[in-house]
Structure formats: structure tokens, C-alpha cells
Structure 1
Amino acid sequence: MDTQKIKQTYRLNQWTDIVRQCRSSGQTVAAFCKEQNLKPQSYYYWLKLVREAACKALPVISNDTNMIVPLTFREPPTCSSKSVVTSKITLHYGDFSLDLEENTSPLFIENTIRTLMSLQEKQSC
């Protein structure tokens, strides 16, 4: 690992720690920065860099991946003149279950699965 990469990683860890301290302090960003003698502009810049690094660290899910996601299908209700049939699916991931309606955004589903996978990886470390 080169010196530049080590320096970037060290700074990113420092900024992540500052963001965590601010979030856990219960204070506003302005109050936290004033107390810590930081510029709010610097804090927001570091927050942006921390978020970008977190996004880059997410596992890549592409169309090429042959992931198998277990799905549970329920029998649709019997139709009557007064009932309305809607499509619904339940995703199970470990102890987590998510009910999705037919108009759920594919991006929402993808981001949810990514988040769950990321949490699972962090728990296994």
C-alpha cells in the first residue's frame, strides 16, 4: 500500500469518527462544530466523503450475478365482485422480512437488499 493510500485511509477513518461523534452527541451540526472548534463546511465536506466511501464499499449487484433469492408465494384470494386483488410479495433475508406491493420501486428493492447484505457482512467480521 502506498503512502498516499495510507494517508487517505487514515483521514477517512478520522472523518468517520467525527461524523459518528456528531451523530451520537444529540447536538445540531452547528453546535457540535462550535464545541469541537470545527468549521461546519469542513464537517459537511467530510460527511460527503464518508458517504461516498460507504457507497463504494457496498457490494456490486449486477445483472450478471446469479443470486438466488428465496421467494414465498401465497395463493391469491378468491375474487368476488366486492374484493380487490393486489399483487404482493414477501422477501425473507435471515431474520428480516419485507412485504412489497406491486408498485414498489425496483431501486428500493435493490437498495434494501444491498443494505441487508452489507449489514450481514459487517456482523460476520
Structure 2
Amino acid sequence: MNTKLATSRIRTGQWADIIKDCKRSGLKVDDYCAQHGLSRNAYFYWLRKVKETALTQSGFVEVRQQVELSSCYPSPKLTASVNEVVLGIDENTPMDLLANVIKVLKNA
């Protein structure tokens, strides 16, 4: 392992420890940073870098994509929007399924 990679891993580990400590403290990020003499910008930079490293090491990559389903399914008779989710409802939608989906979305 080269020196640059080893240094990067050590630094990322230190940042991860700080982020975990902040979470465990129960303090808001601004309060935690003030108490520990840290820059808020540095904290969020570290948080981003730790997340990027975790995603890279796990082999997972965050993908954000808007999917348009209208071409796959017939047009619904009614649409209901709960939070940021839009439900397409027609006469074949089981009412118990609809009620459970809405309950879950309200609590999400």
C-alpha cells in the first residue's frame, strides 16, 4: 500500500470517528462543532468524504433516477399524492392495500 492511500484511510477513519461522536452526543452539528473547535464546513466536508468512501468500499453507488411509469401502466382513474409519492388508483385497486400504503407513507 502506498503512503498516500494509507494516509487517506487514516484521515477518513479519524473523520468517521468525529462524525460518530457527534451523532452519539445528541448535539446539533453547529453546537458540537462549537464545543470541539471545529469548522461546520469541515464537518460536512468530512461527512461527504466518509460517505463517498463507504459507498466506494461497499461497491454500491447511489443512483438517482426519475422513473416514468405511465408508458408501462394504463392511466389511473385517480391519483393521490402523499409526501413525495404519487399513487395511481383505479377501480381494481384493493382498498385494504391502498389504506396500508397510505398509512405507511404518512408515517415515513
Superposition TM-score, scaled by structure 1 size: 0.48
Alpha-carbon spacing, 1:25–1:60, altered in 2? closer, same or farther (3 Å) = closer
Equivalents in 2 of 1:83, 1:46: separation in Å? 49
- Structure 1 residue 19, shift from structure 2 partner: 0.4
How many residues align? The count is: 68
For 2:52, the equivalent position in structure 1 comes to 52
Q: Which moved more, 1:29-38 or 1:50-59?
A: 50-59
Equivalents in 1 of 2:93, 2:4: separation in Å? 61
For 1:5, the equivalent position in structure 2 comes to 5
Q: Is the aligned partner of 1:21 residue 2:21?
A: yes
Question: Equivalent residue of 1:27, what SS?
Answer: coil
For 2:33, the equivalent position in structure 1 comes to 33
Equivalents in 1 of 2:17, 2:49: separation in Å? 13
Extract structure 1 runs of 4+ deviating beyond 3 A: 82-86
CA RMSD after TM alignment: 2.6
- Structure 1 residue 44, shift from structure 2 partner: 0.5
- Aligned-partner residue type, residue 20 of structure 2: R
Equivalents in 2 of 1:32, 1:38: separation in Å? 8
Alpha-carbon spacing, 1:24–1:84, altered in 2? closer, same or farther (3 Å) = same
Superposition TM-score, scaled by structure 2 size: 0.55
